[in-house]
Amino acid sequence: MLGFSLPSRQQAAAFLGEDQWAMPALAGGDMLNPVPAWWDFKGRARRMRDHLSLQEFSGALGDIGTLVPILISLTVQGSASLTSSLFFGGLWNVLSGFFYGIPMCVQPMKSIAAIALTNKFTRGELAGAGLGVSGIVFFLGVSRLLWVVTRFVPIPVVKGLQLGTCFQLCSKGIAQIKSKASFWGDGMIWSDNLWWACSSFVMVLLVYERRHVPVALGIFMVGVVFALAQTGVHRQFGEVHPGGHFVHAVVPSGDEFRRGFLSAGAGQLPLTLLNSVVAVAALARELFPGYEASTTSIAVSIGTMNVVGCFLGSMPFCHGSGGLAGQYFFGARTELSLYFLGGVKMIIGVVFGESLVVVLKWFPSSFLGVMLFMASIELGLVARNFTRHPHDEARRRQDFVVLLCTAATLVGFSHDGLGFLVGMAAALVFWAHRRHSSGRVEAGMEAAAAHTLLPTSDYGGSSHAAGSYSGSGPDLAAGSTKPVAAGSCSGC
C-alpha cells in the first residue's frame, strides 16, 4: 500500500490559490520598467518613450525567419492570400501590442502550414483547419477550462515543451541554411550562400551581449537589398503592381472544412494549446517579471484572430513562445515594436498585395535561417530555470528528468501532444514516489515516537516506580530519557 492521504481543506485552498508558474526572474528580465495596464495610456506612453531606439525596431523582426518562408510557400501554392495574410497579420500585431503591452508575437500555425503545403490545400481547406482549431481554443478560453491546465501542468513539463520547440526551430533554421549550402561552385548564388550565413551568424554572436545593437534590422535590410537586386537581375519588377489590393471572403464548404480540420487542425490543436497558450504565458511571466499573462485572454485572442482572418483568406495565426523569445532576443521590449511591424505589414499588403511574392522569394534563406536559429536559442535558454526547488538535489534531478522526457519525445516524434503526455506521465510517477516516500518517513517518525513513550516493561524489563531508573540496553538504544531520583539507580 502506498499510504496516500487526502489533502486538508487548508492545503487544497492553498494549492488552488497558488501560482504554479511563479518562478524566479531570469537574468536580464525587464524589472525596471514594469508593464502598465492597457488602460494606463500615460504609463504606456512613458514606457515606449523610455525604450524608443533602433533596438526596438530590430526586435520587431525577430520572428521573420518563421513568417517569411511559410508566407511565401502558402501564397505561391495558392492556399492563402498574401494580401489578407499581411493585412490581418499586421492588424493582429497592432491589437496584440495594444492589449498586452509586450512584444506578443503573431506567427503562423506551423503544423497546419506544413500539412497544407504537403497536401496542397485549397484556400477553403486551409480556412477550415484554422477555423476548427481556433473555435475549440476560443471555447476553452471563454469557458475558462484552460484553468485546469495552468493549475496542474508542472513547470518541468512546460520547460520541456519550450526546450523541445527550441530544438525543432533550430533544426528548421539549419535546414534553411542548408538549402543554399554552398561556399563555391557553379550552383552558388552570390546573394544567398554559406558565406553570408557564416558572416551573419558571427555578427549576431559578436553583439550577443550588446542587445542595444540592432543586428536583426541590419541583417534584414541587407536581405531586402539582395532581394531587390535579384528581382532586377531577373527583370521581374514588371510583375510587381502597386495599387489598391483588397481581401476577399473565403467560405469553406462542408467537405473542405472536414478535410482541413481532420488532416491538419487535429494535429495543430495540442501545439496551439501548449506552445501558443501555456508556454507563451509562462515565458511572458519570466521575461517581464510582475506581468500577469492570462491564458484565458491568449486563448480568446487566438480564436478571435482566426475566426475573422480565415474567413477573409488569411493563413491561420497564433501567438507562440518561440516568436516572443525571438523578438525579445533581438531587442523588443514594448508594444512599440509591434506597432511598427504591424503598420509595415498592413501598408505593404494593401499597396503591393500578391505581386510582392516576386520580391520576397529572393530574400536570402541563409539570413532567415540564422535569425531563426538564434531566436530559437533564446527560447531554449528559459529552460534552465526548470524547477522551483533548486536547493533540493533529489527534486531537482527528478524535475530535470521530466524536462528531458518531454523535450526528447516532442523532438523525436515531432508531436507536442505526445511530448506533453510523456512529460505528465513522468511527473506523475515522481509525484507518487515522493508521496510514498513522505508517507514512509511520517510512519517511521510516528513509530519512533510511540517506541519512545512505551513503558520499559514492554521491552522485557521490569516496571519501575517514578524516580527509579533501569539501565537496560534496549531502553538506552531507544533513546529513552526517564527522570532519575537522587540517589536511586538500579543496575549502575
DSSP letters spanning 104-159: ---EE-HHHHHHHHHHT--HHHHHHHHHHHHHHHHHHHHTTTHHHHHHHS-HHHHH
- What is each CA distance from 334 to 44, 45, 330, 378, 381, in whole angstroms? 9, 10, 12, 18, 21
Q: Is the CB of residue 82 less than 8 Å from the CB of residue 71?
A: yes
- Place 19 in a pLDDT band, splitting at 50, 70 and 90: very low
Q: Which residue has the higher pLDDT, 328 or 152?
A: 328
Distance CA 195, CA 216 (A): 18
- pLDDT of amino acid 97: 92
Predicted local confidence at residue 477, as pLDDT: 38
Are 324 and 96 in contact, with CB atoms under 8 Å apart?
Answer: no
Residues present in the chain in total: 492
Q: What H or E segment, with its residue span, contains residue 318?
A: strand 317-318
Q: Return the SS3 of 102.
A: coil
Q: Distance of alpha carbon 310 from its chain centroid, rounded?
A: 24
CB-count exposure of residue 451 (10 Å: 0-12, 13-18, 19+): middle
> Rounded mean pLDDT of 37-58?
84
The residue-averaged pLDDT of 197-210 equals 86
Q: Which residue has the higher pLDDT, 463 or 335?
A: 335
Residue pLDDT, tens place only, 422-465: 999 999 999 999 888 877 766 666 666 666 655 544 444 444 44
Nearest by Cα to 460 from 450, 469, 473, 444: 473
- State how far the alpha carbon of 410 is from the alpha carbons of 345, 357, 385, 422, in Å: 32, 33, 19, 9
Q: 117 burial class (0-12, 13-18, 19+ CB within 10 angstroms)?
A: middle
Confidence (pTM): 0.71
Report pLDDT digits (tens) over 295-329. Answer: 889 999 999 999 999 999 899 999 988 889 889 98
Q: Could you give the 3-state DSSP secondary structure of residue 444?
A: helix
Report the helix count and the strand count for the chain, using DSSP H and E.
22, 2
Cα separation of 394 and 389, whole Å? 9
Q: What are phi and psi of 305, to 5 degrees?
A: -55, -45
Distance CA 83, CA 75 (A): 9
H/E run at residue 317 = strand 317-318
Pull the grid cell for residue 105: 508575437
- pLDDT value for 397: 93
For residue 319, is it left (φ>0), alpha (ψ between -120 and 50) or beta?
Answer: beta
pLDDT exceeds cutoff 80 at 219: yes
Read off the C-alpha cell for 382. Answer: 528559459
Terminal alpha carbon distance of the chain:
45
Query: Are 176 and 369 in contact, with CB atoms under 8 Å apart?
Result: yes
Least confident of 94-98, 228-232, 358-362, 483-487: 483-487
- Distance between CA atoms of residues 261 and 135, nearest Å: 11
CA gap 116, 64 in Å, rounded = 20
- CA nearest to 214, candidates 337, 339, 331: 331
Q: What is the mean pLDDT of the chain?
A: 80
Q: Which of 41, 288, 300, 5 is nearest to 146 (CA)?
A: 300
259 is written with which cell numbers?
A: 478535410
The C-alpha cell that represents 36 in the structure block: 502598465
Where does the pLDDT of residue 132 fall: very low under 50, low under 70, confident under 90, or very high at 90 and above? very high
Side-chain-side CA neighbours of residue 24 (13 Å): 10
Could you give phi then psi for residue 351, rounded to 5 degrees?
-80, -45
What is the phi/psi pair of residue 189, to 5°?
A: -100, 130
Mean pLDDT, rounded, for 169-192: 80
Give yes or no for a contact between 421 and 161, defined as CB atoms under 8 angstroms apart.
no
